Structure 1
Amino acid sequence: MKVGLYFGTFNPIHVGHLIIANHMAEYGGLDQVWLVVTPHNPLKNKSTLLNDQHRLQMVFLAVEEYPKLKPTDIEFRLPQPSYTVNTLAHLQEKFPTHEFSLIMGEDNLNSLHKWKNYEVILQNHDIYVYPRINTESIDPAIAENARIHRVNAPVIEISSTFIRNSIKEGKNVRPLLPGKVWEYVEHNLFYTR
Structure 2
Amino acid sequence: MKIGLYFGSFNPIHTGHMIIANFVAYHTDLDKVWLVVSPQNPLKPSASLLNEHNRFHLVELAIQDEPKLRASNIEFSLPRPSFTVDTLAYLSEKFPTQEFAIIMGSDSFQNITRWRNYQHIVRNYPIYVYKRPGHEVTETHGATVKILEAPMLDISATDIRNWIKEGMSIRYMVPDNVAAYIAANNYYK
The TM-score normalised by the length of structure 1 is 0.92
Change beyond 3 A, Cα 1:45–1:122: closer
Distance 1:172 1:47 in 2: 23
CA deviation after TM superposition for structure 1 residue 49, in Å:
1.1
Work out whether residues 40 and 80 of structure 2, in 8 Å CA contact, stay in contact via their aligned partners in 1: no
Residue 62 of structure 1 contacts residue 181 of structure 1 at CA under 8 Å; is this kept in 2?
yes
Name the structure 1 match of 2:120: 120
Summarize the Cα distance change of 1:146–1:190 in structure 2 as closer, same or farther, 3 Å threshold.
closer
Residues matched between the structures, number: 189
Give the drift of 1:188: 0.8
User: What is the distance in 1 between the residues matched to 2:170 and 2:3?
Assistant: 31
- The answer to whether the 8 A contact 1:132-1:156 is kept is no
Aligned to 1:106: 106
Q: Which amino acid aligns with 1:90?
A: Y
Q: Which residue of 1 aligns with 2:182?
A: 185
Cα distance change of structure 1 residues 86 and 138 upon mapping to structure 2, 3 Å threshold = same
Which 4+ residue blocks in structure 1 deviate beyond 3 angstroms?
Answer: 40-47
Once the two structures are superposed, residues 5-45 of structure 1 have per-residue CA deviations (whole angstroms, 9 ceiling, x without a partner) of: 00011110001111000000000211000000001358964
1:89-145 Cα offsets, whole Å, 9 max, x none, are 10000001100000000000100011111111111100001111122x545252xx4
| RMSD of Structure 2 on Structure 1 (CA) | 1.7
Q: CA deviation at 1:156?
A: 2.2
CA positional deviation for 1:180:
1.0
- Contact 2:6–2:36 (CA<8 Å) still a contact in 1? yes
1:15 is matched with: 15
Gaps of 5+ in 1: none
Structure 2 unmatched ranges of 5 or more: none
Partner of 1:70: 70
Q: Which residue number corresponds to residue 158 of structure 1?
A: 155
Q: Please say if 1:168 is aligned against 2:165.
A: yes
Tell me what 1:96 maps to.
Answer: 96
